Amino acid sequence: MNLVLFGPPAAGKGTQAKKLVADRRLIQLSTGDMLRAARAAGSDLGKKVAKIMDEGKLVSDEIVIALIEEQLDSNPDAAGFIFDGFPRTVAQAEALDAALASRGTQVDSVIRLCVEDESIVSRISKRFESEGRTDDNPETFKKRLAAYHENTAPLLPYYSAQGKLTEVNGMADIDKVAQSIARVLDTNGNGNSEKLKGFWARLFGK
């Protein structure tokens, strides 16, 4: 079961991905987290992307696609992945389809967390105060939101044409959003089998 969690920055993708990891034995792949880790480690990659991230722009497709491919290769036995903050461009979505196809799998479901711009701007100012992420400052956040509308929202027709897109109200509280996501995954069949696999794994410690 491979799931893309889709939505603007601060829609709650990371929060919901973490809940799914706990519930369904899926691996969360957040390109934002990977890039922040590279920066924290002071690696060449981290140095290369720091300025771009601080300006609220997208790093190159090539960089994030390579990060994702690396993770797919490092986790060959995963029950599935939750893509969080990736893909963000049509080129990334095409590369993801190709990367999964070459490994005998596919994107099964794309869940869009629908939130209004005004409410995420107020959400983000709270996150800026509590977590202190430099790119959450109001000026940079506006640019990230603009990048979402310009580069990422055009992915919606891409996934809708594949019949994979479901919309969920991302304005509800965290547990309600999680319940809506669970319903989507359980009705498309795959989610249920993942849930069962998770149950047996917990029971037998595998």
Active site (catalytic) residues: 13, 88, 127, 133, 144
Q: Token pair for residue 11?
A: 């829609």
Alpha carbons 204 and 193: distance in angstroms, whole number: 16
Q: Residues of 151-186 as b/e, b for ≥16 C-beta within 10 angstroms? A: bbeebeebbeeeebbbbbebbeeeeebbebbbebbe
Binders of ligand AMP in range 29-88 (CB under 6 A):
31-32, 35, 52-53, 56-59, 64, 85-86, 88
Q: Which is nearer to ligand AMP, 86 or 194 (CB)?
A: 86
Interaction mask 83-112, ligand AMP, x per CB under 6 A: --xx-x---x--------------------
Exposed/middle/buried for 121, CB within 10 Å: 0-12, 13-18, 19+? middle
Q: Which is nearer to ligand AMP, 28 or 109 (CB)?
A: 28
Minimum CB distance to ligand AMP, residue 64 (Å):
4
With CB under 6 A as the contact rule, the residue among 4, 16, 144, 166 that binds ligand AMP is 144
Minimum CB distance to ligand AMP, residue 28 (Å):
12
Do 184 and 112 touch, CB atoms closer than 8 A?
A: no
Minimum CB distance to ligand AMP, residue 193 (Å):
28
Alpha carbons 156 and 163: distance in angstroms, whole number: 11
Binding site for ligand AMP (CB under 6 A): 9, 31-32, 35, 52-53, 56-59, 64, 85-86, 88, 92, 135, 144
